[in-house]
A = this chain, B = another copy of it.
Amino acid sequence: MFQGAAALNLDAKGRMAVPARHRDALVTAGEGRLVVTAHPHRCLLLYPQPAWEPIRAQILAAPSLQVESAMVRRLLVGFAEDVELDGAGRLLISPSLRQYAGLEKEIWLVGQGRHFEIWSATGWQAQQDAIFAVGDKLLPPGLENLAL
């Protein structure tokens, strides 16, 4: 299970150094094969390849001509890229994906259970601000009974 938020820096070549504590889990779960793609909320998704597979299948099974499912497919499948960690435990984020999520130097890697999300510093901050703005109306379907 991936969890925890880490502030990272993209280097001049657009490489992201995965924190050492996540490397083992990530490489083990995906036999070294990872997938990066775009998320509708304007961040990126990072999956171990086996975890991505069924999600892609589910998206491809949705009706082609339905406008919204086509949107999801164009994003999630259209932007997906296979990547691997280099010898120093970094992964290269392609220019298209960097541009999509607005990634500059400072980024955030956020554990989300079976996958990670990658945010620009500004996007991640905006996300937190949004949470405070929503306040106590924050009880979506499925979590009405959440007891912390």
Contact = CB atoms under 8 A, between A and B. Distances in A.
Given A58-B146, A72-B146, A141-B63, A77 B131 contact: no
A84 B9 CA distance: 27
A93 interface: no
Interface stretch (A10-18, A26-34, A109-117): A109-117
Copy count, this protein chain = 2
Interface string A128-148: 101110111111111100111
A2 B75 CA distance: 13
Classify chain A: how many residues form its interface, as a range: 35 or more
Contact of A7 (B40, B56, B96): B96
A85 interface: no
A111 B71 contact: no
A88 interface: no
Given A81-B3, A96-B7, A72 B143 contact: yes
Interface of A: 1, 3-7, 37, 39-42, 45, 55-56, 58-63, 65-82, 94-96, 100, 110-115, 117, 127-128, 130-132, 134-143, 146-148
